[in-house]
A and B are shown apart, each in its own frame.
Chain A
Amino acid sequence: MASYLIRRLLIGIPVLLGVTVINFFIINLAPGSPADLYLSPTATPEDVARTEAELGLNQPIFVQYVRWLTQLLHGDLGVSFQNREPVAQLIGDRIGPTLLLMGTSLVVAYLIAIPIGIFAARRKNTAADYSVVGASFLGISVPHFFLGLAVIYLFALQFGWFPTGGMLTLGRGGGFVDRVEHLVLPVTVLATAIAANMVRYVRSSMIDAFGQDYIRTARAKGLGGFTITNKHALRNALIPVVTVIGVDLSALIGGAIVTEQIFQWPGIGLLTIQSIGSRDYSVLMGINLIAAIAVFAANLLTDVAYAVVDPRVAYA
């Protein structure tokens, strides 16, 4: 197992390097010179050339990459083209709200999906089960932005229960209740997709677990439905469910971008959209890299979790 972990980590090094190369490459596809962004539109070609030299942009792309990578290894993500603020600081300021949004959504999704999934599995092929499956299909098929607009239309504009967006009401001090009120709608949107997916995993792995011999043995021993569900089936059924988180982080980030935009939630997603609007590629490069490292780490954790759960993986 230890040697599997070490090997898995070693394999990760070239992958991470590849992530940085592609990230660098994407941003360098952008038309125009970043130097333009530092200069007024009236700058002469000489001005452009001088600024490019100052920024090292006239050097071969490989040299630029190595310099960027070296900075990166020192924790330096560069500065924003737009307002010269360090990218690391910009991201640091916005990461809290995003983590709050994603974390809450994940917890809510699990709190909904696990009981409902078990419920559906225990009533397999009944009307109740079919409604759960149907609802989960609806949940994975509805785009975040349409669901977002719909809940704003209903719960914010028609009923007036919740605010239409933002993280807190200015001037009201942002107390706990206020913050929760602001969280409800975006979390509803983001959690819907996760829960819809998760319900299907929980349901099918519970159905699998109920069919296993050890569950039948437990039944034969005279154990009741509740004990069987909780002590025997659930533990084994949740293993694949937990490992799914890693795979879903990529989708979660995608959902967060759209959700943050709709609700004007001041997180990384909104920063991404704003940076795209202002063509601030150094910020985008930083965000993309951080997000990729997070997804990479999640994938790695998933692999390791699988190996822990099923030791055969480590020897494959």
Chain B
Amino acid sequence: MTITKPSEEQAAPSTPDEQREPLLRVRNLKRYYPIRKGVIARTVGHVRAVDDVSFDVYPGETLGIVGESGCGKSTTGRAIVRLETPTAGSVIFDGTDIAELSTARMRRLRTDLQMVFQDPYSSLNPQIRIGDLLAEPLIAHHRLDRSGAHAKAAEMLKIVGLPAAYLNRYPHELSGGQRQRVGIARALMLEPKLIVCDEPVSALDVSIQAQVLNLLKDLQGEFGLTYVFISHGLGAIKYISDRIVVMYLGKVMETATTAEIFARPRHPYTEILLDAYPEPNPHLRDRERIIVEGDVPDPAKPPPGCVFHTRCPYAQEICKTDVPPLTTGVHQVACHFPLAIEKLATEKAVS
């Protein structure tokens, strides 16, 4: 396995640098939701939305988190900005564990940690004009006075590619793509270091998705932003991410650079995910399809051992009993029998 050195890449941030300090360090993050039953609402079990998730995010990079709906990727994203309080584990942002901060200190730290939401229709307050919506963060945090904040709002609107006339409009007077631009502009107003993008293009028309992705990429360059980009769509993830975390049923299956994940997936689940992703190159399309059986198990009753064993074509006895640990290093995988690196390479060569 070879790692491309930073010097070989044009954009320095796109590769993890083991010498650099991560901006965000998620360690053993767990988020369980209690299931209550009976007269006194006693807890009879837990839905393990996020179960022991760890990863790092380096400054300037885009970390993609991918997985099917219900895999815990959104909950992970919400825990990073503390919209969810972790059941256990730590979220260390810039050296501070935000899982343990008081509400007041967290409020101050939030200016560095922003979020872009999935649904551009519901993430903008329908009663507030775009101009006020953008100026509000600066006024609320006493960064600028009203006129200063509005001037900055106008500037930001231009940066995200919307005409200044939109300042006086209400959100419902804008299209989905335009609203998402406003949502992005609002997240930028406080000049954050990290932005969690929770499926930011999933609700948009396909034709508009690329525009918004391009905008996000451009802004990253201009402002030196770091993104955690959550999506169930491999296309968007592949396009924007430097590194990818693959999640399944609340757990991390595999973590590697985008190129590695797509070229040499080591987890059977990743392989299946990629297999379901349409190959843009028609000459490579006649690969053999892997058939996945069964449904995603109930996260309230995750299977013992490896959570993926119920659907894994390569599962052995040990997979049903022992939880495979996530390996360390640059290409991390949680599997007792990771796919051989050569396997896919040979297949590709054959076809």
Contact = CB atoms under 8 A, between A and B. Distances in A.
Task: Check A-B contact in the complex, CB < 8 A.
Answer: yes
Contacts of A6: 39
Nearest to B37: A3
Interface residues on A, range: under 10
B38 to A, nearest CB: 5
Nearest to A8: B39
B29 to A, nearest CB: 30
Contacts of B37: 3
A219 interface: no
A316 interface: no
A7 B40 CA distance: 7
A10 interface: yes
A226 to B, nearest CB: 46
Interface in B97-144: none
B198 to A, nearest CB: 27
A10 B41 CA distance: 12
Main secondary structure of the interface of A (DSSP, over half): helix
A155 to B, nearest CB: 54
Contacts, number: 8
Interface in B145-180: none
Contacts of B38: 3
Nearest to A7: B39
Contacts of B39: 3, 6-7, 10
A7 B41 CA distance: 9
B44 to A, nearest CB: 12
Contacts of A7: 39-41
A162 to B, nearest CB: 53
A6 B40 CA distance: 9
Contacts of A10: 39
Interface in A1-53: 3, 6-7, 10
A6 B39 CA distance: 7
A35 to B, nearest CB: 46
Interface in B31-55: 37-41
Contacts of A3: 37-39
Interface in A212-226: none
A7 B39 CA distance: 5
A3 B44 CA distance: 15
Q: Which of B37, B38, B39, B41 has the most CB of A within 10 A?
A: B39
A130 to B, nearest CB: 34
A55 B78 CA distance: 63
Contacts of B40: 7
Nearest to B40: A7
Nearest to B41: A7
B226 to A, nearest CB: 41
Nearest to A315: B37
B146 to A, nearest CB: 43
A153 to B, nearest CB: 52
A220 B39 CA distance: 45
A92 to B, nearest CB: 36
Contacts of B41: 7
B83 to A, nearest CB: 23
A52 B41 CA distance: 48
A313 to B, nearest CB: 16
A190 B37 CA distance: 44
8 contacts: A3-B37, A3-B38, A3-B39, A6-B39, A7-B39, A7-B40, A7-B41, A10-B39
Per CB-CB distance, the 3 closest pairs between chain A and chain B, nearest first, are: A3-B39, A6-B39, A7-B39
Interface of A: 3, 6-7, 10
Given A3-B38, A10-B39, 6 more contacts: A3-B37, A3-B39, A6-B39, A7-B39, A7-B40, A7-B41
